[in-house]
Amino acid sequence: MGDSRLNATRHWLEKANHDLLAAKVLLSEMPILTDAICFHCQQAAEKTLKAYLVFQNCHVPKLHDLSSLVSECGRIDQSFHGLNDILADMTEYAVDSRYATAVGNISLQEAKEAFANAEKCMEFVRAKVSL
């Protein structure tokens, strides 16, 4: 495997980790900004899935739809399809959470669930990517 592909994979995972860390910080600060937390969790999952595609030397589509990204990864490894259960509802946080209508519409429980699911996604992919 080429160094440039490994480096690109590492960069995607690093960016995903930054989003997850941002969400973690936001969960511990007052006021708790659930819309921002969910946005960063969605971004962490998205970048993690894209890291796997880079690792596999596949085209990385420019989209935010986590179900589509899971499907792309699932073409390589069928076990990815299991992530749909935890990620399907998070796609909406990519765009919707950035607009005024999201303020106050996302519960703390939803934000905590998004964080846990983003973490699970990252752990799952890291186990598949040997760096």
**The 3-state secondary structure of 37-102, one letter per residue:** HHHHHHHHHHHHHHHHHHHCCCCCCCCCCHHHHHHHHHCCCHHHHHHHHHHHHHHHHHCHHHCHHH
Give tens-digit pLDDT for 24-59. Answer: 999 999 999 999 999 999 999 999 999 999 999 999
With 70 as the cut, is the pLDDT of residue 98 above it? no
Give tens-digit pLDDT for 63-97. Answer: 989 999 999 999 999 999 999 999 988 988 887 55
* pTM confidence score: 0.91
Terminus-to-terminus CA distance in the chain, angstroms?
11
Homologous superfamily (CATH) for 3-128:
Nucleotidyltransferases  domain 2 (1.20.120.330)
Q: Where are the domains of the chain?
A: 3-128
With 80 as the cut, is the pLDDT of residue 101 above it? no
